[in-house]
Amino acid sequence: MTECFNQFDIDQASITCNQRGKPYGIVFGDMALLSNTRLSLEAAEYAREHGAYHVFHNAVFKACFTDGENIGDMDVLLDVGESCGLDRAGLQASLEEHQYAELVAQGSEAARSAGVTALPMFIIEGLPPITGAVHESTFRKALQEAVKRQATPRENE
């Protein structure tokens, strides 16, 4: 990954992510691999259609960020899907046929149109987007501001 992000301190990012994840039981492994996640997004849509989106999402997150697996690899996704109760053959057929590719492309285009330039990105109405793995206090401040704005009567209404 250092080849792609030579000014990025991967060790420090790993330390920071682990510090922020610790209170929630989230452990980050080595950040040595940068996966192409397109296929995992298609697999997530398959999981959504089969009622297993949330369990699959959590399992893919763990596979990628804790276990250091390549979530762009078909076999990894099939193993993860099967561990979540998805039909391995059905998931494989869906991925080989790119059954959800257009839906994923539409989601990507909608994100670009909405101004999403990085992940993660959080949008709270009326506030600037929050981009990146920021500290929890940043979210608390933004949510407090959003609540305050809702409580304040708006002009011209």
Provide CATH 3.40.30.10 ranges for the chain: 33-114
Where does 33-114 sit in CATH, by number? 3.40.30.10
pLDDT of 148 reads 92
Specify whether the CB–CB gap between 47 and 53 falls below 8 A: yes
- Rounded to two decimals, the pTM is 0.75
Tell me the β-bridge partners of 121. Answer: 131
Measured at the alpha carbon of residue 119, what is the angle toward residues 92 and 80, in degrees to the nearest 5? Answer: 25
pLDDT tens, position by position, 51-89: 999 999 999 999 998 999 999 999 999 999 999 999 999
